Amino acid sequence: METKKRSPVLKRAWLWLGALFIPLALVILFEALKGRQSVMCGWVFGVMAPLEQALGRLWSLFPFSVAEAFTALFLAGCVVWLVRATVLAARQREPIPLLRRLTALAAAWLWLWAGLCWLWNAAYYVPSFAQREGLDTAPYSVEELAAVTEYFARQAAALSTQVPRDEEGHFAAELSDCFDRGPDIYQNIARTFPSLNMKAVRAKPLLCSRLQSILGFTGVYFPFTGEANVNVDAPACLVPSTIGHEMAHQRMVASELEANFVGIAACTSSGDVVFQYSGYLMGLINLCNALYPAAPEAWKDIAGRCFSPELTVDWSDNNSYWAALKSPVEDAAGDVYDSFLKSNDQELGIRSYGACVDLLVNYYGRPQ
């Protein structure tokens, strides 16, 4: 008895349907379940975190950012695919092949979005780091904010004379050594906050760091490889604290405000002078951004009394660097990222970077 074979056309149709509807179903499933915190907790801490941490250890065997290589290959492949599809359509003068190729490209991006939902966005729907660790985020007064700002300024000033500097007084610590020592900075803070305890892996410098700066970013966590990637074109004095920030994301600290706080706390408690200084400097910048609009005279008084010449140099270097790169491209990239954060119920959007001040004031300014 003969069995009918499916035609090649029918087989291709089923492949197209699968390529499109499987990721679409995954996205729809995520949207349906993201409000159920117990489900998200089970997924994030039972599956997602162990998987990404294992991937991070695997890809740490490579000295370069695998995430950057994958991203470059994917984007280049999309461009080549689109150009080829357009050229073939012009030659053949038939719309169906072009539509098929564009559908394939759309399917690739849909799979990417589905993966991002389940391998990163899910972390926005579990209890926050502050909730997991019982941290207080109570309101504070301007006087309390000023007191913590002064504390950070004095700590940064004291440490500013102990870090390596070049002949002109600029921060000159060897960044490759900072990346090598990075995995150690979480040892102390993990004793205070057990949820941060994991087998640390080395963060990686980005080859296209200048592009990151143009877009206004200092680093990026890539969930598909579990890598913490750092912009090394940015002012060197803040690279160590950025390493701490990106490594916080490896520990499922999703929100930017909490990753900023965790990175600062890891650096300042590390016992490594370079990381301590960078952490206090990063914290001081966040505190300044909150204090200056509320009490500009208080901020000027703190800067005048507490800043050392070395700290002033690093402060100026950071301000000058970012001011020189300010452009509509950075603004547009910021708007895109702001929309991404808000789409995942991060109400403050990109402004959440400044909101880490709540945690800094309560943690450093009040008895624990």
Report the half-sphere exposure of 222 (CA within 13 A, side-chain side): 23
Query: What would the pLDDT profile of 100-154 be if each residue is shown by its tens digit?
Result: 888 889 999 999 999 999 999 999 999 999 999 999 888 889 999 999 999 999 9
pLDDT at 154: 97
pLDDT at 9: 52
pLDDT at 159: 98
pLDDT at 7: 58
Question: In whole angstroms, what is the distance from residue 192 CA to residue 177 CA?
Answer: 26
Place 367 in a pLDDT band, splitting at 50, 70 and 90.
low
Query: What would the pLDDT profile of 140-159 be if each residue is shown by its tens digit?
Result: 899 999 999 999 999 999 99
Query: What would the pLDDT profile of 234-254 be if each residue is shown by its tens digit?
Result: 999 999 999 999 999 999 999
Query: What would the pLDDT profile of 157-213 be if each residue is shown by its tens digit?
Result: 999 999 999 999 999 999 999 999 999 999 999 999 999 999 989 999 999 999 999
Query: What would the pLDDT profile of 271-303 be if each residue is shown by its tens digit?
Result: 999 999 999 999 999 999 999 988 999 999 999
Query: What would the pLDDT profile of 299-346 be if each residue is shown by its tens digit?
Result: 999 999 999 999 999 999 999 999 998 756 445 544 544 554 455 544
Buried b (16+ CB within 10 A) or exposed e, 98-109: beebeeeeebee
Place 6 in a pLDDT band, splitting at 50, 70 and 90.
low
In the chain, what are the domain boundaries? Answer: 8-125, 129-365
Which residues 6+ apart lie within 8 Å of 64 measured at CB? 204, 207
Buried b (16+ CB within 10 A) or exposed e, 288-322: bebbeeebeebbeebbeebbbebbebbbebbeeee
pLDDT at 350: 40
Q: And the tokens for 323?
A: 């001011």
Question: In whole angstroms, what is the distance from residue 154 CA to residue 235 CA?
Answer: 21
pLDDT at 311: 97
Q: Over range 47-64, report the average pLDDT.
A: 96
pLDDT at 16: 63
Average pLDDT, rounded, for the chain: 88
pLDDT at 355: 66
Q: Which long-range contacts (CB under 8 A, 24 or more apart) does 322-329 make?
A: 325/213, 325/214, 325/216, 327/214, 329/214, 329/215
